[in-house]
Amino acid sequence: MNDIRRTGWAAFVAYLASIPLANWMILHIGTVCVPHGGPCLVPVAPGLVAPSGVLTVGAALVLRDVVQRCLGLRWGLAAIGLGTALSAAVAPAALVVASGAAFALSELADFAVYTPLQRRRLLTAVVASSIVGLVIDSVVFLWLAFSSLAFLPGQIVGKLWAVLIAVPLVRLLRRVAPTPA
C-alpha cells in the first residue's frame, strides 16, 4: 500500500473515531457542565465558551477532506454516510436527531465546496469547505439540540481553531497526495 492510501485509511479511521469522541465529550468533558442534560463547555477564546465537542468536529471536517483527497470521491461520500449513521448511533438519546442531522448536512456542504476547489487550490478548498461545514453544523446542532443559538459564536471559534491547527497538515498532504485520487 502506498503512502497516499495509507494516509487516506488513517484519516478514514480517525474521522470515524472523532464522531463518538465528540458525542461523548459534549456530555462529559468541560470546565463547566450545564445541568439537566445541557452540554459541557470549554473556553475557546476570551469570553467565549462552546460545547466541548467543537474541537473534534472541526477536525472531522478536515479529516473527511483528506479521505476524499487520498481515497477518492466514493470513499469521501462513504465516510459521510458511515459517519452520519455512527453519529446517530452513538449520540445520547436527547441528541440523536441533532447530531445526525447536523453531521449529515455539514459534511455534505463541506463536500460540495471542497470537491470543485481541491484540484486548483487545496488549502483554500480545505479552509473554505470547513468554514461552510462548521457554520452549518453549529447552527443545525445547537438549534435542534438546545433550541438556542447562544453558543454559536463559541462553536464557530472552537471549530475554527481545529481547522487552523490542521493547516500545516494540509500543506504536508499536498506533498503526499499532490493530486486528488
Domain presence at residue 79 = yes
What range does the domain containing 122 cover?
3-176
Domain presence at residue 26 = yes
Whole-number pLDDT of residue 20: 87
The SS3 call for residue 27 is: helix
Provide the CATH number for the domain around residue 141. 1.10.1760
Domain presence at residue 148 = yes
146: left (phi over 0), alpha (psi -120 to 50) or beta: alpha
Q: How far apart are CA 149 and CA 121, in angstroms?
A: 33
What's the total number of domains in the chain? 1
In tens digits, the chain (181 residues) has pLDDT values of: 798 999 999 999 999 999 889 888 988 999 999 888 778 999 999 999 998 988 888 888 899 999 999 999 999 999 999 988 988 888 877 788 888 899 899 999 999 999 999 988 999 999 999 999 999 999 999 999 889 999 899 999 999 998 898 888 888 888 888 888 8
Confirm whether pTM is higher than 0.75.
Answer: yes
Domain presence at residue 70 = yes
Whole-number pLDDT of residue 177: 84
**Residues whose CB falls within 8 Å of the CB of residue 164, separated by 6 or more in sequence, listed in order:** none
Domain presence at residue 171 = yes
Q: How far apart are CA 163 and CA 166, in angstroms?
A: 5
Domain presence at residue 181 = no
Domain presence at residue 161 = yes
Domain presence at residue 87 = yes
**CA nearest neighbour of 59 among 11, 118, 27:** 11
